[in-house]
Amino acid sequence: MAEHSENQNRVTGDCGSPEHRAHRRLFLQGAMASGLASAASFNALFSVPALAQETKKRGKKCILLWLCGAPSQFETWDPKPGTISGGPFAAIPTSIPGLQISQLMPRCASIMDKLSVIRSMSTEPSEHFQGIDVLTRGEQPRPPFTRPILGSVVAEQLGQLDSPVPQFVLLEPCPEGNEFKSFKAGNWAGWLGAQYGPVRSGGEFAIPDILKPESLSQLDHEDREALRSFLSRKFQNDQQSQAAEGYNAAFNRVKGLMSCAPLFDLEKLPQADRDRYGPGAFAQYALQARHLIENGSTFVMVANGMPWDNHVFQHEMHQMLVPELDNILFQLIGDLEDRGMLQDTMVIAMGEFGRTPWLNEARGRDHYSKAWSLAMAGGGIRPGVVVGQTDPLGFEVTENPIDNRRLFATIFKALGIDPKEQYDLPDLPTFHRVEGNVQPIEELLVG
């Protein structure tokens, strides 16, 4: 038992030393004593740890625009105009001399010096579920162990666990989405434990019960919790109850989380901002992601079902989807920069693989994981870099192939998380944050 908890502490960052524990116990006793002493007013019990303005701003954060279904590299970052792979769209020059991207992305072209692109992604799975699994966890599965998803790791490593604002948020209005639907039903936080799983919001997934019943006055609501907390803490201390400790900790977060309810309310965002991002759900939730990051979340993943899986009428579909993405990235990066947050906030736009250089009979592009592209910006990523390249028809990576491991090592390193650290958990073989001792992509890291 004792061994277990120390092992867990190593990962969660609590050193587990006796002094640490003694301090905590004293703190609990202190809280209890003050609870008794101030029973007359109960006011002491109302206080919730204030949002520390400083911690709110410090530390790296990440927004993952999850382009589920897998977008085409040809219609985004790696156009091959005039070839049989290229499709009907042209390539346009960007703010980086000599670099061209798809004509469907004029706004990103204008800020290309703030973005970086990997054109040489080369990964294994070419089916959605497996691809989503590997590109959100960073590694092939090894049952029965479940590796935590990127957002859980980042929230665990960089998050403020005592913050009222949820550290890992999944903004996803869509309950459907084929394989993504079954993936969403799976275990996200893996061996880190459910507390590092995402708070899900968006569409009908508004956080349930986050508002008090209208029949209850604010005073009554606060009275209730003050009394509950008083009685439950007494029980926790008298019985040395670990179950009550966890229970009371959850209630401690209620007031804070309720105070965050406006953060999850799209209607509360300025209309001008909403107009700039555009009317689509993906765009609106990308804006909300910015808002959450500004207010203390550490990792926000934005998704919207699996719209990018264009096996049919690829060009027509991408003609709708890519310009929306183009604008979202443009607005998001611009907003973060204006707020002085870009250097600490990484934005990633990627799917689970790319699409074939050829068209199928339905004029769609099928799954292709051998050579595809993604884009990143901010948060420790050096801007204006293009990593790797593909052959003239986009069949193969010809330079600097990047797999899921090197991608994750780069993301972690840029965010200040050690990619080589070992997970040392009970009943677990030795796992590393990134397996295989791979190197991050140095050229992508800010010096």
- Nearer to another protein (CB atom), residue 86 or residue 197: 197
The CB-side HSE value for 117 (13 A sphere, CA atoms) comes to 23
Count of residues binding another protein (CB under 8 A)?
53
Q: Which residue of 227, 312, 320, 446 would you call a contact of another protein, by CB under 8 A? A: 227
Single out the residue of 314, 318, 343, 342 nearest to residue 330, CA to CA: 342
9 is a contact residue toward another protein (CB under 8 A): no
Which 126-145 residues touch another protein, going by CB under 8 A? 142-144
**Contact mark string toward another protein, 258..287, x via CB under 8 A:** x-----------------------------
340 is a contact residue toward another protein (CB under 8 A): no
CB neighbours of 34 closer than 8 A, spacing ≥ 6? 44
State how far the Cα of 105 lies from the Cα of 319, in Å rounded to an integer: 10
Bridge partners (DSSP) of residue 64 are 301, 348
- Nearer to another protein (CB atom), residue 105 or residue 165: 165
**CA angle, residues 224, 266, 332, in degrees to nearest 5:** 125
- Nearer to another protein (CB atom), residue 98 or residue 208: 208
Which 228-247 residues touch another protein, going by CB under 8 A? 228, 230-232, 234-236, 238-244, 246-247
Q: Which residue of 31, 48, 206, 254 would you call a contact of another protein, by CB under 8 A? A: 254
Spatial contact of 445 and 380, defined as CB atoms under 8 Å apart: yes
State how far the Cα of 78 lies from the Cα of 270, in Å rounded to an integer: 35
Query: Where does this chain touch another protein (CB under 8 A) — which range of 37-45, 267-275, 383-391, 433-441?
Result: 37-45
Q: Which residue of 250, 320, 362, 446 would you call a contact of another protein, by CB under 8 A? A: 250
CB neighbours of 168 closer than 8 A, spacing ≥ 6? 151, 152, 154, 155, 159, 196, 197, 198, 199, 297, 298, 299, 300, 301
State how far the Cα of 3 lies from the Cα of 16, in Å rounded to an integer: 10
CB neighbours of 138 closer than 8 A, spacing ≥ 6? 147, 150, 404, 405, 407, 408, 434
- Nearer to another protein (CB atom), residue 11 or residue 244: 244
Binding residues for another protein (CB under 8 A): 1-2, 36, 39-40, 42, 142-144, 193-195, 207-213, 215-216, 220-221, 223-225, 227-228, 230-232, 234-236, 238-244, 246-251, 253-254, 257-258, 427, 429
